[in-house]
Chain A
Amino acid sequence: MRNTKLKSSLSMMIAVPMLVLTVAACSGNGGSNSSGTPSGSSEQKGSEAPKAVTLTYLSAWNGGGGAFPQDQENNLVARQIREKVGVTLKLESITTSEVEKLNTIFASDTVPDIVNAPFWSTISGEGQVIKKAAMEGQLLDLTPYLDKYPNVKRLLTTGVSKDFYEFEMNSPEFEGKQYFIPVETPDGTLESIHNWNYGLYARGDILKALNVKAEDIDTQDKLYDLLTQIKNGNFKDIGGKSVIPAGTMHNGWDYGRYLMGWSDYNISDFRLEGGKVTHWTLGEDQEPRLLFMRKLISNGLFDPEAFSNTDTTANEKLATGKMAVYGAQPMMDQLSKTLYKTNPEMQYELLGPMKNKNGEIATQVATPGRGGFPVIFLSAKIKDPEAALRYLDYVNSEEGRLLAYWGVEGQTYMLDNGQPRWLPEVKQKYDNNPDEKRDEGLNFLPGRFIGAFSSDVTWPQPEDQKTEWRKLEESFWKKMPIKVIDKISANYVAREWPQYDKYRDATNSLNFDTEFRKAIFAKSDEEALKMLRDIQDKYRAAGAQEMADFVAEKAAARDDIGF
């Protein structure tokens, strides 16, 4: 009897906690995904104090957490904002695919209160996912709130290209509802369009050793020769291991930089080739592009792991000088903290700029307003949308922007003739260790919360205030000035094509770039070309060429359509 009782007690002791654990594991849905809890966390600090609210925020950008301060809630900027608007953000970021994360939050109904995500178009990628979520009730319609928050309302139109605003943000399917707040947009002036400095960057010490001038490398042939010389030159990284002649950042971003010799100034998915309009997937340049990439890989000139690079492995390669040449942005934030500190002689130089197929500089192409940008949207289930909008409105006000970029007057900066300037000791601290600036909260807001604004235009910095990295970045801007095309993208003409919806559904599951990457690694050129033609055939069968013909016909009748 005693034995049985003992057994019972023992089994209870083990089984009950296990049961509780199991049930608890199922019921918990992750604190970070819970919506704002205004009622729970609300506390009135006197009649003047704003209501204290905690909101969840997701930066749906691969590696987007790099700008987050270590102490999310009690850094200098976060504290000031809390005092002003009562809002505290719990920040979350991802190191995986953006589309994957967006689909997951929408399908599992765990949309954080505020989300920032890429929104390049509503017919593919992230934008398509977000549009579906908006139309299926996952996003909050901002229309009723906008008049109350003028700084937010201004973001919807300022610095946004007219066609993008009309066809993407105000697609008829939205029935007049507004879901998206564009950020990282220019202030409406051409000078405020941000130059991302996409290009090929080569290690300076290697160029010097080879007696090659960076600006001389501006064609595909010269690039190939340079990479061959690098391979044969037996150059080493900082660990004494052989360098990779050519590489990229995560997931092959941006291997397209090695193919700029076939590029043109395009603002749409259509190409004008020999007087004929074609869809980009069917372009005659696809074959030489593919064969060039294959030549790089088969001759050991291009990192075969580039397409499998994670953000971490790519940064590791960058920090160790492993890549003799890489294609992407200047990556100044990462490099200034790592390689440029340990091995300043390795400082990367911009190659070329590379020339495009017309012999012009291959550079960033933009319309006067930005078409495609990061957007902020709010969850339909957010408990306190006013708090989120209060936050966004404040950080986009003049006062909020000063705080976001410069911190607190007298503490981090001073005003000199109305222009903010870092306090000398603060500037020195940030120059020596950029992470200090990040941890004060001075990086995450400018990156993802502010729009219709350019700090360079509003607060131009005198030369003596600029860091050497900033000066370097500006030198790249000068070499690759933005090409502005003030026309309507042909993409929007295509939407008038009667078969457009059918085409979109038929190509929904096709991924040209995935097939192109597969073909790069095919066993032979013949097999690679066959793979390329197979995917092109699928686009052709879906009607890509008929659509291009339709666009050509419509575009011929007017002069404001750009390809």
Chain B
Amino acid sequence: MIVKEARAGVIPTRTNKTWTKVWGFRHIYLFMLPAIVWYLVFCYYPMYGILIAFKDFKYNMGILGSPWAGFRYFEQFLNDSSFYSVLYNTLSISALKLLFGFPAPLILALMLNAVFRNKIKRIFQTISYLPHFVSWVVVVTLMQKILSPNVGLVNDIREKMGLDPIFFMGMTSLFYPLVIISDIWKGVGWGSIIYLAALTNIDPHLYEAAEMDGAGRWSTLFKITLPCLTPTIGILLIFSLSGILNAGFDQIWLMQTPATISVAEILDTYVLKTGIQQGQFAYSTAIGLFKSAISLVLIVIVNKISKKVSDVSLW
């Protein structure tokens, strides 16, 4: 292209050069186009809807035409009697998911990586990926069926043993364990893909050198594998921490019962209830925006800390 332009007597400017490069990689950019359109349509275009948080939303006036309400709905949320319990539940569930759910894919990836027989490895990989494709509706329905006090398998066994049935899904003490276990079961296989990809990128010479030096499996793991995975772990940790206020809407919404609601009401479900069920759209948007703002601050802080401590960062 440059040759063609030179022949035509065009002096290449910086913009021209950029466009020339873009044109050179046009098929790659074309691949990106649907994703860009998707982001524009589903993420950026609806973003103007956050204005509702500052408005007294009226159906007939639309988002832009509705009168301004200032920060009234943010104040209302901060003074809401549910504020602390909802925030506490959200942080508790997220922290537990982070504590138990974050290392699980890494451990699975390391275990799969240690399997030498490819066929067995693939079988395990496939089995572990499958739950990811099952929707939360199905997963929670299965849990309800298995744990039901009336028709559930577990309680059937208890009944045969002469024990009284237990309403597992309605016990506040079991709510968090059930959330974490089902979350790990569903996500562990899928989450391990990135780690498996990162593991294949580790230079095999490092392992050969370690073997020659007489390193055992554990020291190879701690001195070669994990250090080499640090950037991947770091990036994923940053993402997880920034999303700490996303405790998992689908799962929690479906698992909530009146019996567990005191520990199960999280920001996302509260937003839905105030917005869609009570019709307080401005108030629920304010709660959603509050959550997004906190997440943004978190991602900036965690990224900064990560950059300082481990030299791993998003930007």
Let me know if B258 and A518 touch, CB within 8 A: yes
CB distance from A302 to the nearest CB of B (A): 11
List chain B residues, Cβ under 8 A from A137: 59-60
Let me know if B170 and A8 touch, CB within 8 A: no
Task: Please choose the segment from B30-38, B199-207, B242-250 that sits at the chain A interface, where 4 or more of its residues have CB less than 8 A away.
Answer: B30-38
List chain B residues, Cβ under 8 A from A518: 258-259, 261-262
Task: Please choose the segment from A95-103, A283-291, A342-350, A555-563 that sits at the chain B interface, where 4 or more of its residues have CB less than 8 A away.
Answer: A95-103
Let me know if B41 and A509 touch, CB within 8 A: no
A100 to B278, CA, bound (A): 8
Knowing A104-B276, A138-B59, say if A12 contacts B30 (CB, 8 Å). Answer: yes
A100 to B38, CA, bound (A): 27
CB distance from A527 to the nearest CB of B (A): 10
Q: Name the one of A133, A521, A538 contacting B258, with C-beta atoms under 8 angstroms.
A: A521
Task: Give the size of the chain B interface in residues (CB under 8 angstroms).
Answer: 44
A19 to B32, CA, bound (A): 10
Q: Name the one of B59, B81, B170 contacting A304, with C-beta atoms under 8 angstroms.
A: B170
Q: Name the one of B60, B150, B170, B276 contacting A100, with C-beta atoms under 8 angstroms.
A: B276
Nearest residue in B to A128 (C-beta to C-beta)?
B279
Let me know if B258 and A305 touch, CB within 8 A: no
Let me know if A132 and B279 touch, CB within 8 A: yes
Let me know if B149 and A19 touch, CB within 8 A: no
Let me know if A15 and B34 touch, CB within 8 A: yes
Q: Name the one of A26, A107, A133, A322 contacting B41, with C-beta atoms under 8 angstroms.
A: A26
Task: Classify the interface of chain A: helix, strand, loop or mixed.
Answer: helix
List chain B residues, Cβ under 8 A from A235: none
A76 to B28, CA, bound (A): 57
Let me know if A7 and B258 touch, CB within 8 A: no
List chain B residues, Cβ under 8 A from A271: none
Q: Name the one of A138, A514, A521 contacting B170, with C-beta atoms under 8 angstroms.
A: A521
B288 contacts A by Cβ under 8 Å: no
Let me know if A508 and B151 touch, CB within 8 A: no
List chain A residues, Cβ under 8 A from B75: none
Let me know if B165 and A300 touch, CB within 8 A: yes
A244 to B149, CA, bound (A): 9
A154 to B275, CA, bound (A): 36
Knowing A241-B151, A244-B150, say if A99 contacts B277 (CB, 8 Å). Answer: yes
Most B Cβ at <10 Å: residue of A12, A21, A509, A538: A509
List chain A residues, Cβ under 8 A from B122: none
Let me know if A100 and B277 touch, CB within 8 A: yes
CB distance from A241 to the nearest CB of B (A): 6
Knowing A19-B34, A19-B37, A136-B59, say if A317 contacts B28 (CB, 8 Å). Answer: no
B42 contacts A by Cβ under 8 Å: yes
CB distance from A42 to the nearest CB of B (A): 29
Knowing A133-B59, A136-B59, A303-B150, say if A103 contacts B277 (CB, 8 Å). Answer: yes
CB distance from B154 to the nearest CB of A (A): 14
Nearest residue in A to B27 (C-beta to C-beta)?
A11
CB distance from A114 to the nearest CB of B (A): 18
Let me know if A15 and B60 touch, CB within 8 A: no
Knowing A26-B42, A107-B59, say if A305 contacts B30 (CB, 8 Å). Answer: no
Let me know if A129 and B259 touch, CB within 8 A: no
Let me know if B30 and A22 touch, CB within 8 A: no
CB distance from A258 to the nearest CB of B (A): 15
A405 contacts B by Cβ under 8 Å: no
Q: Mark A513-550, 1 if CB is under 8 A from B, else 0.
A: 01001101101000000000000001000000000000
Question: Which residues of A are interface residues toward B (Cβ below 8 A)?
Answer: 4, 7-8, 10-12, 14-15, 18-19, 21-23, 26, 97, 99-100, 103-104, 106-107, 109, 128-129, 132-133, 136-138, 241-242, 244, 300, 303-305, 307-308, 317, 322, 508-509, 514, 517-518, 520-521, 523, 538
- For this complex, 14 residue pairs linking A to B, each with C-beta atoms less than 8 Å apart, are A11-B27, A19-B37, A23-B37, A23-B41, A106-B59, A107-B281, A109-B59, A136-B60, A138-B59, A300-B164, A300-B165, A303-B150, A322-B150, A514-B261
